[in-house]
């Protein structure tokens, strides 16, 4: 319910007004909302009559209005009208208990496999300390999420075209600052993803390793969580520690387990069973085994060449297993997980960060 004195956040359909803004409600009438003209970077924001307003405030998502009139100190819009939401994007977060287990390589190749299956995939480099997806893919763009937060560029403008139909968003310092954003800055990010949702089937988050607060939030609110480990004892222990924290914060969470860099199927099964049994017996979790990946000498070569193994060697065991995982995530599981979409993801993240 909109009330006088309330601040509403919005953006517009105009190419001249693509940032996010806030305005205070002056009065609410049966046929319109009257708002005070806001200041934007020291100037009055004078929107032309007929401009479409897309509301961003919680509870008004997927609602639009039209500017009816504009005075010196106030302006009026139609009452918010709900519009049909685009097909929901599946948000997949990839995490690991420790660094060096191959998380970024996995995220890239999984995204390429989903793209080969006809899915439209965006890969967000959400690693706070080691953001390097653009380097591994040979991309040379200098724009990242921090430019969106600053309001100098939109999310579509920083989106880079990668190989195999993959699209990439560089996070860089913008990811680390998410927990310190004011509502306007946060809405710049969420509004940008709202614009991308209609053209994105999967958003893959390559998160940082470990249990930092922001990483835990990403993993906890995504539609699907993939936890990557390898058979080394310390990697399994760190993966279990991450699961323990996630279980405490997100009761009922059901992660997907991938065992990477396995010397054999028996080693993969043994390591996976160890982690699964610990999760079930001590954390009351019921993880899903997504699969395992072999050690492959082609991976170091692909990293040096900055060309993913899934594209250079699509018929090797590594690539075939990645493709089967992508098919499983695409819905060929006995218990598919419902997808809630990008806006839902950012709304849940907003609540955990305390942004209003």
- pLDDT tens string 128-160: 666 688 888 988 878 888 899 899 999 999 999
Using CA atoms, how far apart are residues 309 and 183, in angstroms rounded to an integer? Answer: 41
Cβ neighbours of 350 (radius 10 Å):
20
Q: Does domain 90-353 have CATH number 3.40.50.300?
A: yes
Question: Is a pLDDT exceeding 80 seen at residue 263?
Answer: yes
pLDDT for the residue 333: 43
pLDDT tens-digit series, residues 152-197: 999 999 999 999 999 999 887 667 777 778 888 888 888 888 888 8
Domain locations in the chain as residue ranges: 7-82, 90-353
Whole-prediction pTM value?
A: 0.86
pLDDT at 129: 63
Which residues face 227 on adjacent strands? 95, 257
**Paired sense of beta strands 288-294 and 256-262, if any:** parallel
Q: Which two tokens stand for residue 130?
A: 């080691």
Confidence tier at 298 by pLDDT (50, 70, 90): very high
Q: Which residues lie below 8 Å from residue 111, measured CB to CB, with a gap of 6+?
A: 121, 123, 166, 202, 204
pLDDT digits (tens, 9 = 90+) for 10-52: 999 998 998 999 999 999 999 999 999 999 999 999 999 999 9
CA distance 4 to 243: 45
pLDDT of residue 335: 44
Say what percent of the chain tops pLDDT 90.
Answer: 67
Buried-exposed string 175-194: b where 16+ CB fall within 10 A, e elsewhere: bbebeebebbbbbbbbbbbb
Task: Tell me the pLDDT of the chain averaged across its residues.
Answer: 90
CB atoms within 10 A of CB 97: 24
Residues 257, 259: Cα–Cα separation, whole Å: 7
């Amino acid at each position: 319910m909109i009330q006088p004195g309330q601040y509403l956040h919005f953006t517009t359909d105009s190419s001249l007004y693509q940032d996010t803004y806030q305005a205070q409600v002056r009065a609410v009438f049966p046929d319109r909302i009257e708002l005070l003209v806001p200041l934007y970077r020291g100037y009055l924001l004078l929107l032309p009559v007929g401009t479409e307003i897309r509301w961003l405030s919680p509870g008004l998502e997927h609602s639009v209005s039209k500017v009816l009139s504009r005075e010196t100190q106030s302006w009026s819009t139609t009452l918010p009208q709900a519009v049909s939401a685009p097909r929901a994007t599946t948000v997949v977060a990839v995490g690991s208990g420790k660094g060096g287990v191959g998380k970024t390589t996995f995220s890239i190749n999984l995204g390429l496999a989903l793209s080969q299956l006809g899915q439209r995939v965006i890969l967000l480099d959400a690693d706070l300390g080691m953001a390097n997806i653009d380097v591994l893919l040979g991309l040379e763009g200098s724009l990242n999420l921090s430019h969106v937060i600053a309001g100098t560029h939109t999310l579509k403008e920083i989106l880079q075209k990668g190989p195999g139909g993959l699209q990439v968003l560089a996070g860089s310092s913008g990811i680390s600052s998410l927990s310190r954003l004011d509502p306007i800055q946060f809405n710049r990010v969420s509004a940008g993803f709202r614009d991308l949702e209609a053209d994105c089937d999967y958003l893959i988050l390559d998160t940082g390793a470990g249990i930092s607060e922001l990483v835990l939030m990403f993993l906890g609110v995504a539609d699907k969580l993939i936890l990557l480990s390898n058979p080394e004892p310390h990697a399994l222990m760190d993966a279990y520690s991450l699961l323990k924290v996630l279980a405490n914060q997100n009761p009922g969470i059901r992660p997907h387990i991938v065992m990477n860099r396995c010397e054999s199927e028996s080693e993969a099964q043994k390591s996976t069973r160890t982690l699964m049994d610990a999760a079930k017996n001590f954390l009351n979790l019921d993880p899903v085994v997504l699969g395992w990946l072999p050690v492959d000498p082609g991976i170091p070569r692909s990293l040096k060449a900055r060309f993913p193994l899934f594209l250079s060697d699509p018929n090797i065991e590594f690539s075939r297993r990645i493709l089967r995982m992508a098919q499983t995530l695409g819905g060929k599981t006995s218990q598919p997980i419902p997808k809630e979409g990008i806006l839902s993801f950012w709304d849940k993240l907003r609540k955990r960060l305390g942004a209003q």
